[in-house]
Structure 1
Amino acid sequence: MKNKKVMICDDDHDNLNISEFLLEFEGYIVIKEIDSTNLINKINENNPDILLVDMWMPVLCGGGIIKIIRVDSKNKELPIIAFSASYESDKAAIEAGENHYISKPFNIDDFTKLISKLVS
């Protein structure tokens, strides 16, 4: 997946670093953001091919981010994978407009295959 950019937003440093390691190993360019309030600007600056977003973050939650993206004419088609360890986050993610939801912890092979499918 050379030159495909994956943006990850999670308020947990360990989750960001592990995801970055896994995805860079697969050949992706990884852009990380820990502060959800910076995410929309970072998306506009970097034009990622896919967004991975945690559903439960301080200040601006993943569902709120997804809703903002879905009404933005420039980014509304951006593939989004929402993830969380919280029970029933999948319902909030679906209502917000994500393309797919993954529960934490997730299977690494399923995770990378799903990303590959959504960016190709």
Structure 2
Amino acid sequence: MRDSNKKIIIFDDDEDILSICSYILEEQGWEVFTFTDCNNITEKVSRVLPDVILMDNWIPDAGGIIATQTLKKSEELKNIPVIYFSANSDIQILASNAGAQTYLAKPFDLEELEKVISKVLIS
């Protein structure tokens, strides 16, 4: 069991993904925060100050790239690792344009989700 104050934010407008990911991560001791849009993203992230952020490419309104770039411009938030996730075939390019640490292609299995989260926490 991980220590219970690890926090993660998931930005995705797909309720199914939010509920599945939340369930799995809470089982592992994460405190999970979910948002279905990226409006006022710096305020949302500042309130939680998570260890990791999962960012969907098609998040309303501005989209994942702009949302991630906004976070990376903030002194306070720029070091929080962002895992970009999307069903786009060019996810690697999108993640790199956004300034995300890494990416996870949808659909993903839960093992991949866990692996990619542990990877960014170590680095």
Per the TM superposition, whether the score is higher than 0.5 is yes
C-alpha RMSD of the superposition: 1.3
Question: How far has the Cα of 1:116 moved from its partner?
Answer: 2.2
8 A Cα contact 1:51 1:78, kept in partner = yes
Q: Which amino acid aligns with 1:92?
A: L
Q: 1:39 to 1:106 in 2, by over 3 A?
A: same
Could you list the runs of 5+ residues in structure 1 that have no partner in the other structure? none
Q: Which residue is 2:43 aligned to?
A: 41
Q: Which residue is 1:81 aligned to?
A: 83
Q: Secondary structure at the match of 1:116?
A: helix
Map Cα deviations across residues 70-105 of structure 1 (whole Å, 9 max, x no partner): 111111111010000122132121111100111001
Which among 22, 41, 45 is matched to residue 24 of structure 2? 22
Q: Which amino acid aligns with 2:31?
A: I
Q: Which residue is 1:118 aligned to?
A: 120
Which among 77, 82, 107 is matched to residue 109 of structure 2? 107
| Matched residue count | 120
Q: Which amino acid aligns with 2:17?
A: N
Q: Which residue is 2:69 aligned to?
A: 67
Question: How far has the Cα of 1:11 moved from its partner?
Answer: 0.8
Runs of 4+ residues deviating >4 angstroms: none
8 A Cα contact 1:9 1:39, kept in partner = no
TM-score, with normalisation over the residues of structure 2? Answer: 0.91
Which among 52, 73, 90 is matched to residue 50 of structure 1? 52
For 1:62 and 1:23, locate their aligned partners in 2 and report how far apart those are by CA, in whole Å: 21
8 A Cα contact 2:57 2:84, kept in partner = yes
